[in-house]
Structure formats: C-alpha cells, structure tokens
Amino acid sequence: MKTGFSPWAPRVVMAWWGKISPPTWPRSPLSRPGSTAPASASDRRHWFRRPIAEGSSEAPAPAPAPAPARSDKQSRGRRQSSFSLMPKRLDVRGEVCLSVSGFRELNRRRAAAGLALFANPRNAAAGSLRQLDSTITAARPLQFFAYGVGDASSLAIGTQTELLAMLAATGFQIIPHSRVCLDLAAVIAHFHFLADSRHELPFEIDGMVLKVNDLAQQKRLGAKARSPRWAVAAKFAAAQAVTRLIGVDFQVGRTGAVTPVGRLEPVKVGGVTVSRATLHNEDEIRRKDLRLGDMVLIQRAGEVIPEIIKPVVKKRQGNETAIKLPTKCPACAMPLVRKAGEVVRAVRRCENPHCAAQRLQALGHFCGKAGLDIKGLGQKVVEQLVQNALVNDIPDIYRLQPQQLAALAGWGEKSAKNVIAAIAAAKHPKLARLLAALGIRHVGEVHAQLLAQHFPSLTHLQQAGEEDFLKIDGLGPAVASSLVTFFSSAATSKMLIALRDLGLRISPDDDRGQDRPLHGQVFLFTGTLSHFSRDEAKARIKELGGQVATTISRKVTHLVCGQKPGAKLAKAQEMAIIILEEADLRTILAS
C-alpha cells in the first residue's frame, strides 16, 4: 500500500523513528528541561550556532509519535518524563539530510541498477523528498535533524539550547556540533573551526546558523517578511572552478531590467555541470574587466545560479575582446535608461510599456505558478499565443476562444477545451493571488499577502496613497511608491475594468479554518468503515478544517479505504493519492 509523504502518513513517521539514535544530551552547561533551575538571564544572552547541513532539505517534521517500548528502563523513564512536558501538539522544524556515505551508497545502488547518478547529497535529499511514492523515500538513507519548533511558548524552556536538549531527550536527532558562544570572537572562532573540520563530518555542510539563545529575546526581535531577525546564516566559501567565457546574453525581465548572463564552456562545480553564470549587471562587467574569451573563476553556492567572480588575467592570450553592452533593448530596440535612485543603480531598463519581451515575461508570470497558476498556460504556450496575435495583454487571456486554440500547431480540441476551462477557473482569484500575479514591481507573494490583509478590495487599493501603504508593517517606501505608480496609471484602470467586464471577481478570503489541522486536505471514502459511520467521520473531518469529496478528482488528497473498497481505490493508486486505512484515519481524527 502506498502512502504519500505527509504528516498524516503515520507509517513514514515510524520508519524515521526507527532510524533515530538514542537520546543524547548536548554538551551544554545549561539546565535540562524539567529542571527547576532555569538558566540565568546572563546565560541566555549567548549566541548559539548549528551547522547548516548541505545534503539537506528543510522540512517541518511530524509531531513526535509515541516512543516504541524499550527494555532499557532508565531510557523509558526519561522519554516518558519528557513526554509529560509536551503539549498535545508540537510542530517540530528540522532538516532532512543525506550523509556522504549514504549518498555514495545510494549512487552505488543506482549505478548497479543502471539509473542516473545524483550530483550531490543535497540534490539527492531534495529529490528523495519530492517522490510521490513514499516507499522510495523510505528506502533512501535519509536522516532528520531537528533544530526548532513552531511555537515554543507552551514549553517550559527559556533558551534555544534547552529546546535542543528537549528535542534530543524526546528522541529527535539533533546536530551534535552546536555550541553556545559568549561573544562574537567565540562565534568567529567556531566558524573557522567548522570551516576547517567540515570535511571530517559525516555530512556536507555549507555554513552555520547563528541564533540568539534566549527565546524571550528571539520573540522580541521578531521576524522580517521571510526570515527571523534572531537567526542568521554564515556560509563558507563556495565551490569554485575555472572555465572560458564564450558569450554574453542580455535578457529582458518582466520589469524591463536587462541582465547580462554569461555563456560558459561547460564545467563541473561542486558536482553540478555549469554552462551559464550571472554577471549581475553591466557595472560588474566593467569593474571586473571581463572580456569575451577570458578564462573566468566561477562560484556556485547552494542552488542559486552560479556567478562569475573574476577573469584569470594571467591566462589571457591577447585575443580576448571587449563585451559590447547594449544601449538599446535587445527585444524592442527602445533606448535603455539608467535611473538615479534605483536600489541597484547599475540596472539598465527598457521603459517601453509595449516592449514585447517584458510583455511576454509579464504574461508568463500572470499565468505561471507565482501568478494564477493556470494549468496548460506555461511560458512556451504564452509565447505561442503572443506570436499568433491571440494574446496581447492580460485581459486577452480571458477572451480566448476554444476554436482559436484548437487551430494552433500542436493543439487539439481536447487540449483547447482544458485550457479554456482552466482560464475560467482562474476568474475568481483571492486578492493576494491576483496582486502577486499582476507583477507590480517590488510586490511579491509576501507583500501581496500583507496588502490583502489590510485592503478589502482592489478599489480600496486604487484609492490608497503612499502614506496608507507605509502604515503597513513590512512595506517599505520602494513598494509603496511602486504601488501608487501602478494603481494610478490609466493603463492599470483600463486593464482592471476590462478584467471585471470579462467576469473576473475577487473571491473572499476565507481565513477561518486555516489554523485547523486538516485545512487544505480533501478526503474521499470507499468501502465500509467498522468503528464509526461515514457521517461521523465526515463530520469530524470538517470539524478539523478538512473537506470531504464525493467523487475522485485531482483535488482529493486522501482516500479513506474501508472494507470491500470500490473502484476508487485503483484510481487513487493511479493518481498517487494518499491511501489511508481506517486505523490511520482514527489516528488523524484523534488529534
């Protein structure tokens, strides 16, 4: 039987549990959880670090399952006492990691089976978690290292160190190289120690995380849109290689910014073959005195696009040529402008509102995953629609007719019908979703969410001034001014009116239920349940924020399988829907 990777697949939890080593206390002078003597206030103002495991994917962990019975009485006693301190529900954060030896073993097995090899532990770990079939994930030698919890306020602890000790005592594996540092000099010393000894560790790390130890201070420091203010990552120098720069492409982005991208002779860096690297902007090209044909030092850190650090000047042969910087938009030939006051002044922009390249990127963004996520309208399809003059702006998407699509090369009636249905389904977006899709400069998903929380409708946004936007915690002057520019433009008004006339309506943001444990999960039943009636089960699912479907579709996340299941079971297996037995469902509904 298949179970997906999900907090609601108890079998997966138990598989991990089996791999977790017995609890060990970290080397720390601070008090253990449950101790009546809390760490003193001065103790808590320490820096705390943990290494960043490189072969890892950060993922929230399932709440701890009950410990299996052990013969060791002392150990059992410790586990039970730490469980008695536990809240009913605990959201544990951590990283899934693949050790170097596990990675080698995995690749050895793949080579034997004639499968493609993984480039590095990080990709292998991330790829393992993306598997739809959890039996594949379970077969990979993954480890889970816990480093935090969603909300520590219900726990009787005051510091990060105590939190780790508690997690370790509960049975979670924690990274054993955490240290408490009393000052910045100690932090730097430990950074160098880790950098020097990193290759002796059983897993790859690419840096360390520095955290404020005192949880009360963490709370006071709070968080920015994407990251907490009380934690910062310090990365080691990244993997580097030398190769030849054979060309430079200038790409026009959604906001008109022109970005140079270097074409390279393919080279392996940190286990990955690299043939393109960012040059950031033209000032960087000048500052580094890069020339076509240069041997260049490139660097790759994490999953980001590699960058060119510098030319290797002593390898020059005299036939290298200057990189010609465009003064006109490579797409629409409009003169490019550099504006003072830009966050990055060196960015040259095409300001032509009708620039084909920008329009294409903007349309692709609107239909893409960061936008309204209209199935079947990927960037390539959008390009085809624009080339065939079917789509020129966003409202045109809603004007598409099935017969127009069906007549295009590579399309049929069925695919045309599906895309038209997907477009119709995108007529009722949430406000935040639409704002992110419109591609307003500086306004990403997080800002869009903030705006939707403060403004009930598009009309309110159109009427707001800069000072209204600046009142929102998390929105800066650049965002505020960009919003005013966008909403006060005649083109925007015209577009929004057109969208409304075409039937686009904002659907109300139903926040209720988002905190409930089954929010976003859709259950479907097949077969007979023995411990409760279907109606009882359905009522409980709804109480916990879940939904119940009556027919199988892509929306269904879980199929509950009773005795004598029907045809839905085979269908669900085909669609990789998580399949639950009645016992699994009872565990879930007991939460």
Binding site for Zn ion (CB under 5 A): 329, 331-332, 350, 352, 355
Q: To the nearest whole angstrom, how small is the minimum distance from the Cβ of residue 250 to Zn ion?
A: 11
- The least distance separating Zn ion from the CB of residue 381, rounded to whole angstroms, comes to 22
- What is the SS3 assignment for 517-582? CCCCCEEEEECECCCCCHHHHHHHHHHCCCEECCCCCCCCCEEEECECCCCHHHHHHHCCCEEEEH
In this structure, the strands spanning 558-561 and 522-526 are parallel
- Token digits for 362? 């903007």
In the complex with Zn ion, the residue whose CB is nearer, 355 or 461, is: 355
Strands of 421-499, DSSP E: none
- C-alpha distances (whole Å) from 344 to each of 51, 280, 338 are 32, 10, 10
Closest to Zn ion by CB, 257 vs 484, is 257
Between 102 and 256, CB nearer to Zn ion: 256
Rounded to an integer, what distance in angstroms lies between the CA atom of residue 269 and that of residue 266?
10
Q: How far is the CB of 353 from Zn ion (least distance, A)?
A: 10
Shortest Cβ distance from residue 255 to Zn ion (Å)? Answer: 11
Q: Is 130 exposed, middle or buried, given 0-12, 13-18 or 19+ CB atoms closer than 10 A?
A: exposed
Nearer to Zn ion, 11 or 339 (CB): 339
Question: Which residue, 152, 203, 193, is CA-closest to 173?
Answer: 203
Question: Residue 10 and residue 406: Cα distance in Å, rounded?
Answer: 46
Select 300 or 348, whichever has its Cβ closest to Zn ion.
348
Question: How far apart (Å, rounded) are the C-alpha atoms in residues 18 and 295?
Answer: 50
CB of 351 to Zn ion, least distance (A): 8
| Of 498, 535, 504, 538, residue with least CA distance to 521 | 538
Is 332 or 544 the residue whose CB approaches Zn ion more closely? 332
Q: What is the CA radius of gyration of the chain?
A: 28
Residue 93 three-state SS: strand
**Of the two residues 350 and 589, which places its CB atom closer to Zn ion in the complex?**
350
Least distance (Å) from Zn ion to the CB of residue 327?
12
Query: Smallest distance from the beta carbon of 397 to Zn ion, in angstroms?
Result: 21
Least CB distance from residue 256 to Zn ion, whole Å? 7
The nearer residue to Zn ion, 254 or 276, going by C-beta atoms, is: 254
Query: Cα 71 vs. chain centroid, distance in angstroms?
Result: 41
* Residue 61 DSSP symbol: E
Shorter beta-carbon distance to Zn ion: residue 387 or 591: 387
Phi and psi, residue 360, nearest 5°: -60, -45
- Rank residues 358 and 521 by Cβ distance to Zn ion and give the closer one: 358
DSSP string, 446-465: HHHHHHHHH-SSHHHHHH--
The CA distance from 539 to 537, in Å, is 5
Min dist CB 39 to Zn ion, Å, is 59
216: alpha, beta or left, given left = phi > 0 and alpha = psi -120 to 50? alpha
Between 108 and 328, name the residue whose CB sits nearer to Zn ion.
328
User: What's the distance, Cα to Cα, between the start and end of the chain in Å?
Assistant: 23
Residue 350 vs 479, nearer CB to Zn ion: 350
Cβ 252 to Zn ion, closest distance in Å? 6
**Least spacing, CB of residue 328 vs Zn ion, in Å:** 8
Structure tokens at 268: 């392996």
Our CB check for Zn ion shows the closer of 352 and 449 to be 352
Q: CB 336 → Zn ion: shortest distance, Å?
A: 8
Q: Within the chain, how many helices (H) and strands (E) appear? A: 24, 19
Q: Cα–Cα distance between 483 and 487 in angstroms, integer?
A: 6
8-state DSSP, 192: H
SS3 state at 237:
coil
In angstroms, what is the minimal distance from the CB of 337 to Zn ion? Answer: 11
